[in-house]
Structure 1
Amino acid sequence: MQQEQKSLLGPQWVNLNMQDADVWLLQSWLKAETADKLLKHFIERLAWSQPNIRMFGKSVPVPRLQAWYGDADASYAYSGIKMVPLAWEKKLLELKRYCEQTCDTPFNSVLANLYRHGQDSMGMHADNEPELGEQPVIASVSLGASRNFDFKHLSTGEKRRVVLHHGSLLIMRGSTQTFWHHGISKTKRVDTERVNFTFRYVHGSSN
């Protein structure tokens, strides 16, 4: 199965070879000039906000800015946040379609995250909400500052780290969300902005 998927993606892709997972990375998915323009555009044009989430019984602001875009029926919920999709912004829709072509997978929504500096982060988690299905395909596009992307196996405790650079595309599929958590930790080594998009397909709406 992995050989078939490698053929689909092309020889330039790197398979992270993780147990109980199917994860592929292409660092130069977008040309540098295109990535530069998109980074500036999305920082300026998307409707960024900083909602609160429930953690240990308390309401706290997420440690980054974010926005949820998608088809009208692609509502989503996590950590006590009900995400009602904003209508697709033009260039974001173009990026989605390019991502769909690369992944040979349809997407109807995207979580956009703006990491303003190294102290903005994403806690360890899995994209395993029921509305994503049993084996969701998550396509993660990175623009801006390079950041460490950490994985941890839920049973063995194995850890993996990959650096996601400007213009890269990471694809997680198969059983990845069942067996692994992933996240972005804080760092003092980064003081510039990073925008990340995780495209996905929501089956129905969350109540």
Structure 2
Amino acid sequence: MDLFDEPECTPINVIDYDGLVEYHGLLIPAVQANYYFDVLLEKIEWKSDQANIFGKQILTKRKVAWYGDKPFSYTYSNATKLALPWIDELLELKSIVEEKTGASFNSCLLNLYHSGEEGMAWHSDAEKDLLKNGEIGSLSLGAQRKFSFKHKRSQKNVSLLLQHGSLLVMKGETQSHWLHRLPPTKTVNTPRVNLTFRTIDETQFASC
């Protein structure tokens, strides 16, 4: 199933069972989205991500950054990051996403894909550091890219195009039942920045 060229009467329900994924379409006007895209490329402390493949730690071409209310630790792919203090532009974007969704976020994981050759394999955002069944607000800036979901049991696939300035929200039990990925493509040669606003479980953080 593909959800391409949908009308902008949002939100669109992307999956129809075992969770909830809403595509809100264009959240930020193009001029404003261009501004934030350029600022984030320049001001974010981008670093190559680490991934564990067949027991070996490698550095990815994709760059990442982790920001939050506090120096939260966040562990995925057997690597732990400490959150950096927010910059003003990230707080502005967080406020925009929170106003749209009604949710409250305390952290943000950013990804920088330099071209379509860089992507993300199937995974779910269900790390123990995150609030269980908490919302994740995914804001896309830059190149338009295909984004896919796959049900863990039925293997049902759903895909959509994430536009420059658009918002996708994953809710409820989505991470328990669905995988998602950003498939690589040779048809895109410009960069994309993805901001995933998240909620760290502060009760678990405080007990560490």
TM-score when normalising by structure 1: 0.91
Task: Out of 11-20 and 106-115, give the one that drifted further.
Answer: 11-20
Per-residue deviation, residues 143-181 of structure 1 (Å, max 9, x unmatched): 000011011100001111111010000000011000000
Q: Which residue of 2 aligns with 1:8?
A: none
| Residue 40 of structure 1, aligned match among 33, 38, 41 | 38
Q: Does 1:104 align with 2:102?
A: yes
| Residue 191 of structure 2, aligned match among 190, 193, 203 | 193
Q: Which residue of 1 aligns with 2:12?
A: 14
Task: Out of 129-138 and 139-148, give the one that drifted further.
Answer: 129-138
Task: Give the root-mean-square deviation of aligned CA atoms.
Answer: 1.6
Shift of residue 62, structure 1, vs aligned partner: 2.6
Contact 2:21 2:169 in 1 (8 A): yes
Residues 10-159 of structure 1 aligned to structure 2 (within 5 Å): 12-159=10-157
List gaps (5 residues or longer) in structure 2.
Answer: 1-8
| Residue 164 of structure 1, aligned match among 162, 165, 172 | 162
Give the structure with the larger strand fraction. 2
Q: How many percent identity over aligned positions?
A: 38
Q: Which residue of 2 aligns with 1:7?
A: none
Shift of residue 134, structure 1, vs aligned partner: 2.5
SS at match of 1:131: coil
- CA distance in structure 1 between the aligned counterparts of 2:156 and 2:170, rounded to whole angstroms: 17
- CA distance in structure 2 between the aligned counterparts of 1:146 and 1:68, rounded to whole angstroms: 23
Provide closer, same or farther for how the CA distance between residues 63 and 176 of structure 1 changes in structure 2, counting only shifts above 3 A. Answer: farther
Task: Out of 75-84 and 13-22, give the one that drifted further.
Answer: 13-22
Shift of residue 73, structure 1, vs aligned partner: 4.1
**AA at the equivalent of 2:196:** T
Contact 2:15 2:158 in 1 (8 A): no
**AA at the equivalent of 1:133:** L
Q: Deviation above 6 Å: which 4+ runs of structure 1?
A: none
- CA distance in structure 2 between the aligned counterparts of 1:183 and 1:47, rounded to whole angstroms: 24
- CA distance in structure 1 between the aligned counterparts of 2:185 and 2:170, rounded to whole angstroms: 24
Contact 1:66 1:114 in 2 (8 A): yes
- CA distance in structure 2 between the aligned counterparts of 1:171 and 1:35, rounded to whole angstroms: 18
Contact 1:63 1:122 in 2 (8 A): no
Contact 1:143 1:166 in 2 (8 A): yes
**AA at the equivalent of 2:89:** K
